[in-house]
Structures are given as C-alpha cells and as structure tokens.
C-alpha cells in the first residue's frame, strides 16, 4: 500500500514539528543573529544599516563575544552554574535513589500513595515553596537557631543560612528531587526480583547483589534522572535571585539582567548561546552514555 502524503503518522508529527520550529529553531536563529549586532542607543539593537553624517555604517560586531571572553566574572558565572548543577544532581541522586528503591520495594498497595507523596509538592507554586524555604532558613527560624547554637558552643561565629550558596543548593535540591525520584522509580519498579533472589541463592551478600545487579540495571534511570535535574538547573535564575547573595548568582541571572534590566540584547544572546551549547553538549554526553550502558546490560547478564 502506498502511504499518502497525509498519512496519519505524518499529520500527527506536524504539531510538535511546528512547535519546535516556531518556539525553538526560529528564536535560536534570531538569537544567533542578535549576538553579532550592536546594542541600540535606547535598548534593543541598533539598526543593521545606519547613516551617520553621510556615511553608511553597517552595525555588525564581535564586541559582545569579546566582552564575554575578556570578562572573568562571566566565566565564573558559567563555572558556578555548572558546579551548582552538578552538586544538585549528585545530592538528588544520593537522596533520591534510596527513596525510589524504598518505594519500588514496598508492597504494591502502598506504592501509589508513596509516589503521590513525592508528587504532592507540585500542587503548590514553585515560588511559594521557595518563599517557604526563605522562612525555614531565615535567622529567626528554629533551624538557624539550632545550628548557630551548636556553632556557638563550639566557639564558632554564627552563620547566615539565608542569602548564601548553601541556600541556593538546598532549594535547587528540594525543587528537583521529584525529577530524580520519578524516573528512578519507573526503572527500579520493573526489576525482576527473581534476579536478586537468584544471586542471594548463589551466595552473594546483600550489598554485592545491589552493586552487581540493581545498580547496573538502574543506570538508565540514573542517567534519565540526572539529565532531568542537571539541565534545568543550569539555566535557573529565580532561586539564586531569591535566596542567594552576590556570590551565588548563576548564568541565568546574567541573561535575565541583560534582557530585562540593562537591555544589552547582544550580550544576553551571546551568553544564552554559550549556555545552550553547554546544555546541548551535556545532554549529548548523557545520551551517548545511555546508549552504551542502557539496555545492553540487561541482555548481557
């Protein structure tokens, strides 16, 4: 049978295609063009061709790239974003894995309720949850009081929990934890318990059967969860703005500032492009690891 041009499959792929072209491809192309343009006198970008005193000037320049490369603080922002995101991913993994395993291994009738408990935070706005953290970490809170009491008795100066890098990472972990737990649970739930039983029968200890069976089998879940946490983290700007200080701002803050405050679109575009490339390379790396480690392992066992 000849597939017609308007086969159902093709028609169904139109909406996502249109969506991606209009909301991702075209804006990205705009951004790349703007990166080479000159900031306008009153914000935005200067016209490409401009007439000044009878001579025409073409406004294209590499100044924004130069500014980005020359200024150390921008690279610091990139490095800090990467560091915070990696740290957040690691902590999420350390907290999320036991949780996901616990849910996956609990009796079937409780699983849905436990899973629901993981999802419940999504019912309230993300901003409200960050504001809640501002109260939890504020100096008047019990947490701050307890920590500073302990520090005080040990002879250390009191510390501020709020407006610090610690607060930023704590909030990032809190917000992203469900994105780590859900894919991990989806993976761990499918594991065949018979494999563990077989390994125990053959004399493996509990930890041996975990490291040699459960862990390798859950690698695709770990990678999916890590990708879901790491990638949105890099571009985050709300959390550092609300609970961070000058030394915990991330690249997203610079981009937001360039578009909403100082109106230097070219610099904002350059940094956005670098960030996009960063995210793209990380997701490519994750994708490649996925391919090498995922799926095949199961067959080889």
Among 88, 89, 218, 257, binds other proteins (CB under 8 A): 257
Among 39, 227, 252, 266, binds other proteins (CB under 8 A): 39
58 binds other proteins (CB under 8 A): no
Tokens of 54: 């009878």
Tokens of 87: 């740290």
Among 64, 253, 269, 272, binds other proteins (CB under 8 A): 253
User: Rounded to a whole number, what is the largest CA-CA distance in the chain?
Assistant: 90
Report in angstroms how near the CB of residue 243 gets to other proteins at its nearest: 9
How many CB atoms are closer than 10 A to CB 207?
Answer: 8
100 binds other proteins (CB under 8 A): no
In the three-class reduction of DSSP (H, G, I as helix; E, B as strand; rest coil), residue 68 is classed as helix
Please, which residue, 118 or 249, has the CB nearer to other proteins? Answer: 249
From the list 34-42, 201-209, 224-232, 275-283, the region that binds other proteins by CB under 8 A is 34-42
Which residues 6+ apart lie within 8 Å of 243 measured at CB?
130, 133, 134, 137, 162, 163, 164, 167, 168, 171
Report in angstroms how near the CB of residue 253 gets to other proteins at its nearest: 7
Which residues 6+ apart lie within 8 Å of 259 measured at CB?
265, 268
Report in angstroms how near the CB of residue 271 gets to other proteins at its nearest: 11
| 82 close to 234: Cβ distance less than 8 angstroms | yes
Among 21, 47, 49, 76, binds other proteins (CB under 8 A): 76
138 binds other proteins (CB under 8 A): yes
52 binds other proteins (CB under 8 A): no
Q: Which residues of 260-298 are buried (b: 16+ CB within 10 A; e: fewer)?
A: eeebbbbbbbbbbbbbbebbeebeeebeebbeeebeeee
Q: What mask of x and - would describe binding to other proteins in positions 156 to 195, judged by CB under 8 A?
A: ----x-xx--------------------------------
Among 54, 125, 207, 246, binds other proteins (CB under 8 A): 246
**CA Rg, the chain, in Å?**
25
From the list 87-95, 138-146, 183-191, 287-295, the region that binds other proteins by CB under 8 A is 138-146
Instruction: Measure the CA–CA gap between 45 and 264, rounded to whole angstroms.
Output: 8
275 binds other proteins (CB under 8 A): no
Residue 106, phi then psi, degrees to nearest 5: -80, 160
Binding site for other proteins (CB under 8 A): 4, 6, 8, 11, 39-44, 71, 73-74, 76-77, 134-135, 138-140, 160, 162-163, 242, 244-247, 249, 253-254, 257-264, 267
């Amino acid at each position: 049978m000849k597939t017609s041009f308007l086969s159902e499959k093709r028609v169904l792929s139109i909406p996502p295609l249109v969506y991606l072209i209009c909301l991702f491809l075209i804006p990205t192309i705009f951004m790349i063009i703007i990166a080479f343009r000159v900031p306008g006198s009153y914000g935005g970008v200067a016209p490409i061709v401009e007439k000044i005193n009878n001579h025409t000037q073409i406004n294209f320049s590499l100044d924004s790239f130069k500014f980005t490369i020359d200024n150390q603080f921008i690279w610091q922002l990139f490095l800090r974003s990467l560091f915070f995101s990696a740290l957040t991913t690691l902590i999420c993994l350390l907290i999320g894995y036991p949780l996901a395993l616990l849910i996956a291994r609990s009796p079937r009738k409780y699983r849905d309720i436990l899973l629901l408990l993981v999802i419940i935070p999504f019912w309230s706005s993300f901003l409200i949850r960050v504001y809640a953290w501002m109260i939890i970490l504020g100096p008047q809170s019990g947490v701050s009081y307890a920590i500073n009491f302990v520090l005080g008795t040990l002879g250390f100066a009191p510390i501020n929990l709020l407006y610090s890098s610690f607060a930023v990472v704590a909030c990032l972990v809190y917000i992203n934890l469900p994105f780590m737990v859900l894919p991990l649970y989806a993976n761990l739930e499918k594991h065949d318990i018979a494999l563990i039983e077989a390994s125990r029968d053959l004399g493996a200890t509990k930890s041996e059967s975990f490291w040699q069976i459960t862990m390798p089998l859950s690698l695709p879940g770990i990678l999916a969860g890590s990708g879901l946490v790491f990638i949105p983290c890099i571009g985050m700007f709300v959390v550092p703005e609300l609970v961070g200080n000058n030394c915990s701002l991330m690249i997203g803050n610079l981009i937001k500032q360039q578009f909403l405050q100082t109106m230097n679109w070219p610099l904002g575009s350059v940094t956005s492009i670098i960030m996009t490339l960063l995210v793209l390379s990380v997701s490519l790396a994750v994708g490649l690891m996925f391919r090498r480690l995922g799926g095949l392992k199961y067959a080889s066992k």
